[in-house]
Amino acid sequence: MTKQTTHSRVALVTGGSGGIGREVVKRLVADNFAVAVHYASNKEKAETLVADIIVAGGQALVVGGDVADEKVMAQVFDEVEVAFGGIDVVINTAGMMLLSTIVDLNLDDLDRMFRTNIRGTFVVAQQAARRVRSGGAIINFSTSVTRTQFPTYGGYVASKAAVESMTMILARELRGKDITVNTVAPGPTATPLFLNGKDEATINNLSKATPLERLGQPEDIAETVAFLAGPARWVNGQVIFTNGGLA
């Protein structure tokens, strides 16, 4: 970790060690952010990413812990503030997706998803609402399946619909603080979370589902996040469907 030596904006990215979160971190560093890279279980990946950023001259910090544990996350926010002097942007990419038809979904799996996706987002958003500086942004993550209603996504979509509603309310509760709150809802994106358990035929069908006829890439999603984290000061209380035109 390097101490902040410029007046960079500061971001905390939960789930920042892999998939979409990793590309979000890399994009924000390219935009001159100092970034705290959060991990839940894969500390080694987070440390490698941060080491690469520092070698390249960027500013980064590894933080870890259960996003659904309010005491742990309060300590994470403390660490970021001590290291970088404050927090401007908080991005909730941490999430869990377990697919099953509603009739067959194991309720323990439902509870696990709800703990990470709903409670975890709530805990992080609560800390962010208390600590993000004026001019900052809180960015949550949902899924385009809240609109497409694909079978087997019932439990996951239920958790993400809650995130969307939470976002709308928090944006209004932060009136007067000059903090935007939005949700990014990706379409099919080529990440391990999405690809796991899908056969080639399913992946090909999803690739053809958008007018652009391809899967999204993590970089596509990071582009939207960078917009919301930086210049998009008039976008607030919105769900941004970053999905290549998926109906």
Enumerate the active-site residues: 156
Nearby residues of 63 by Cβ (< 8 Å), 6 or more positions away = 12, 36, 37, 38, 39, 76, 79, 80
| 157 residue type, one letter | V
Strand, helix or coil at 197?
coil
Distance CA 91, CA 132 (A): 11
Tokens found for residue 186: 């990706």
Distance CA 78, CA 85 (A): 10
Considering all CA atoms of the chain, what is the largest pairwise distance in Å, rounded to the nearest integer? 55
Q: Which 3-state string (H, E, C) describes 145-206?
A: HHHHCCCCCHHHHHHHHHHHHHHHHHHHHCCCCCCEEEEEEECCECCHHHHCCCCHHHHHHH
Q: Are strands 180-186 and 132-141 parallel, antiparallel or unpaired?
A: parallel
Distance CA 173, CA 151 (A): 34
Using alpha carbons, list the distances in angstroms from residue 60 to 120, 136, 172, 213: 23, 18, 31, 36
